[in-house]
Chain A
Amino acid sequence: MKIDLPPPATFTAMRKEKDNIADILRAVVDPELMVNIIDLGLVYDIRCDDPFTRIDIDMTLTSPGCPLGDVIVEDMEYRLFVHYPDTAVNIRLVWDPPWTPERLTAAGKAALGRA
């Protein structure tokens, strides 16, 4: 069976783009906790296609029904739009697996006083 894998150069470029997207999203801060969404571990998955026309992000919130959820999502959409005006951005809120404090990065733990 033949499996179509992207050529290594494309794979590397996509990896770099995902890192770039994560860096952009570090500017999105939860206004209650004052910690960015990457260090909070809210972003589960970032996918982009080849050619670069679409970004899909799976993310969660620290609590279902968080009243600031849509502010965070709108902030993400705007920041990605500024950097990728010709790319469609699709952000999907997921609750499975639920967020737990174990998803915090070391920087996130330090910001919440858990370090």
Chain B
Amino acid sequence: MQQIASQNAPSPRVVLPHFIFGGLALLAAVALTALHPDMLTGHYFSPRLLGLTHLIVLGWISMVIFGALYQLVPVVLEVRLYRESLAYAAFLLLALGAVVLATAFWHFDLGALMETGAVLAGGAIVCFAANIFATARRSVKTGLERDFIITAIIWLLFTVGAGITLAFNLRYAFLPVPHLELLKLHAHAGFAGWFLQLIIGVSSRILPMFMVSHGMNRKKLEWAYYLINGGLLAGIVSLYAQWPPGVQGGVAAGVGGVGFYLSFLAEAYRKRGKRQLDTGMQQSALAFVLLLVPVLLLLFFQWSRSLPAQATLAYGAAILLGFVTALIMGQTYKTLPFIVWLHLYRSKVGRGKTPMPRDLYHEPAAVWQIRLFAAGFAGLMTGVFLQRTVIIAAGGALLLAAVVLYNYNILLIVGHRPKKDDGTAPGGRDPKS
């Protein structure tokens, strides 16, 4: 029989800690947002906001992406992960690096603490990149999903390199370009180069699979790939060269690329075989609606003469706490229960009554999580635009309630143990024995 995907899956011990740590990091981040809403009423270049941002991008988003990729890359590339030991090392380094770096930014300690955090996070990313590149080298599979994933990791390495350079520039000021312009470069390499491309690469494979969609025009993904990378490259070079027309051209190309990607997803949705979207897919759909907020703001930035501080804050929050967070939360329900279920019940399927993957979490909690998240995000955006700390704090509290429910479900899934009567064999020896 042809080899099929789950035979290449890594041990759950590699993947699960990433989801647990990521959930707790998000919990800490939204708690800080609710407790310190004034962070989101000043300039984006402020110590606490930089600390919060690094906790979110490293401790939550990158952490869960690392874990999910260890599970998904073997599916996409049809080959086993190169080294599980490298994945453990990357996890430990990233967990420590995220906490140390966020703390250093929060207290604006530009010395040894920040350098230690940068080295730890950088080491984690090098271990992760080496593991995925070595896995890809062993695979004979080619395709756009692979290109998106590999290119995303190259942009991740660039983002980290730029971040470390920025940290040193903050102390020694050796670069000729204003620091805030360089910060935009670092942030967009991370947003569009790492998060967005990674999301496109993985979601263009798994979302149609979950919706049972067939016959989409994959040329749209090729357009998305070339426009986003071309736009990003042009935008970053132009930012560094301080050439606004180049930046505007880069933004236009990038937004066009996102348009092609959204068009592909809309086609997959129209052609879906499964009409009813489950809870995980509903939250993922919400994420793509939220993506419109930063895309519209980005267009507004390029063609408006003034740049209100709250619009910049809303832009960052809409990407990190809106689109990316909603998508990861939604896709957690599509991946984590299956990882645990495969581990616990694979050998028992067909031999008696076993729970289904969706039985591993509390469905009403997941439904309320989406509602609270949507209300919290709306409150956060309103508070940021109106610069009202009370509304930001209320939005943060609703987000906190949503994330508590999310963590509750993660713990239910990860802590699930089979009941004694699950998978009772009806008798007979195993067909392979």
Contacts and interface: CB of A to CB of B under 8 A. Distances in A.
Contacts of B1: 73, 91-93
Interface in A85-115: 85, 89, 91-93, 98-101, 104, 112-114
B351 A78 contact: yes
Interface stretch (A1-9, A10-18, A26-34, A45-53): A26-34
Contacts of B341: 31
Nearest to B351: A78
A66 B3 CA distance: 11
A19 interface: no
A63 interface: yes
Contact of A89 (B273, B351, B431): B431
A33 B346 CA distance: 17
A78 B429 CA distance: 9
B214 A67 contact: no
A101 B350 contact: no
Per DSSP, chain B at the interface is loop
Nearest to B342: A71
Interface in A70-86: 70-71, 73-82, 85
A101 B426 contact: no
Contact of A112 (B274, B357, B426): B274
Contact of B212 (A28, A33, A69, A81): A33
Contacts of B76: 65
Contact of A67 (B275, B338, B356, B432): B338
Sorting the interface of chain B by its residue count into under 10, 10 to 19, 20 to 34 or 35 or more gives: 35 or more
B9 A101 contact: no
B164 interface: no
A4 to B, nearest CB: 30
B273 A34 contact: no
Contact of A78 (B6, B208, B274, B431): B431
Contacts of B274: 33, 112-113
Contact of A32 (B208, B210, B349): B210
Given A79-B350, A100-B214, A93 B430 contact: no
Contacts of B7: 70
B266 interface: no
B234 interface: no
A66 B4 contact: yes
Given A31-B341, A70-B7, A78-B430, A112 B2 contact: no
A70 B430 CA distance: 16
B6 A71 contact: yes
Query: Which of B346, B430, B431 gathers most chain A CB within 10 Å?
Result: B431
Interface in B33-80: 75-76, 78
B9 A67 contact: yes
B2 A31 contact: no
Contacts of B9: 67
A114 B273 contact: yes
B276 interface: yes
Contacts of B205: 65
B178 interface: no
Contacts of B364: none
Contact of B78 (A65, A70, A78): A65
Interface centre among B9, B205, B274 (most CB of A within 10 A): B274
B428 interface: yes
Q: Which of A31, A74, A79 has the most CB of B within 10 A?
A: A31
Query: Which of A31, A67, A79, A89 is most buried by chain B, counting CB atoms within 10 A of its CB?
Result: A67
A101 B212 contact: yes
Nearest to A112: B274
A79 B2 CA distance: 20
B5 interface: yes
B6 A68 contact: yes
A89 B78 CA distance: 25
Contacts of A99: 214
A82 B78 CA distance: 31
Given A65-B4, A65-B76, A112 B212 contact: yes
Contact of B273 (A65, A73, A76, A104): A104
A104 B214 CA distance: 13
Q: Which 5 A-B pairs have the closest CB atoms?
A: A113-B275, A81-B431, A69-B4, A75-B350, A101-B273
12 contacts: A31-B357, A65-B75, A65-B205, A70-B4, A70-B6, A74-B346, A75-B350, A78-B349, A82-B426, A93-B2, A93-B4, A104-B273
Interface of A: 27-28, 31-34, 61-63, 65-71, 73-82, 85, 89, 91-93, 98-101, 104, 112-114
